[in-house]
A = this chain, B = another copy of it.
Amino acid sequence: VVEMPEPTPATPDPPGVRRRSGPRPGNTRSRRQILEAAKLAFAANGYAGTSMRGVAREAGVDPSLIVHFFQTKAGLFSAVVEWPYDGTRVAADIEHVEIDALGAYSATTFFGNWEADEQRDPMISMIQAALADPAAAALLREYITVNFALPLVTRAGTDQPLLRAGLIAAQLMGMGLARYALAFDALRNAPTEQLIAVLGESIQRSCTGPIPPA
């Protein structure tokens, strides 16, 4: 890969004009090149095996530009592996779900997302990254907690909300990995409707049932 120079802006600034500090066209192109190189690198080498320096080399840009755009490897990764659905929309929806339907709602949403290949694969990659890197783990924790688990528990209005949110996150992650990544036969072969019923009951208990005291 040849190191490519940043293109010169088409028209030079007139004297005395201070340009807005928005992205230059060359930056936009570099950012896209970095994301494309990073996507290939993460797919080929995994999260731990990918370096920002290697991505810069493949993208034909200076490593400092990656830091400029994405700050860290975790930041680069989260830009590449965008969580495949709009979490803020889910959190907004939850405010309108009946409290005794929170489990059914979340199980239905969960399996809807995990059944689709193009949504499942990035989620599995994100979990793999989180297991390899504390910064990626922090991203994933925040994502699940803020956009899904805590809104459910807040809507339920029960005690120990953060513990309940953690228990919900553990159940969702466990089911996702066991059915779709490790592929336990009985889970893989069970009809989705049956698993929605099982997981829904369990999450409903985590939202509104009693939790043993600390």
Contact = CB atoms under 8 A, between A and B. Distances in A.
A40 interface: no
Contacts of A179: 166, 170
Contacts of A31: none
Interface in A10-37: none
Tell me how many chains of this kind the complex includes.
Answer: 2
Interface residues of A, number: 49
A173 interface: yes
A140 B183 CA distance: 10
A141 B183 contact: yes
A198 B186 contact: no
Interface string A179-193: 101111111001100
A162 B185 contact: yes
B169 A172 contact: no
A209 to B, nearest CB: 9
B46 A182 contact: no
Interface stretch (A55-63, A64-72, A126-134): A126-134
Contacts of A201: 212
Nearest to A167: B198
Given A170-B175, A170-B179, A197-B212, A184 B46 contact: no
A162 B188 CA distance: 11
A115 to B, nearest CB: 16
Contacts of A132: 46, 128
Contacts of A205: 202
A145 B212 CA distance: 28
A214 B194 contact: yes
- The 5 A-B residue pairs whose C-beta atoms are closest, nearest first, are A174-B174, A170-B178, A162-B186, A197-B212, A170-B174
